[in-house]
Amino acid sequence: MHEEFPTDDPAVVTCGLPYANGDLHVGHLRTYVGGDVYARALETLGQTTAFVCGSDMHGTPVAV
């Protein structure tokens, strides 16, 4: 399937939710960088794009 860019439909790019289970590590880069690069590439092509990362409005909030 091949589509021309930009399309009239906005693109939504997501990645895994961050968890407060320890210090930052290389695994975080693996999760977030790919989605960020893809969203930026779509924007460069002129595609309307929303990059949603860490949106969990129904989960338990992290207590500090």
Residue carrying the six token digits 């924007």? 43
Q: What is the pLDDT of residues 4-54, one digit of tens each?
A: 767 888 999 988 776 667 787 787 788 788 899 999 999 998 999 999 876
- pLDDT of 50: 92
- The verdict on pTM exceeding 0.75 is no
The predicted pLDDT at position 17 comes to 72
For residue 45, CA distances in Å to 7, 11, 14, 18, 60 come to 10, 12, 18, 28, 37
C-alpha closest to that of 38 among 11, 16, 19, 17: 11
pLDDT at 37: 94
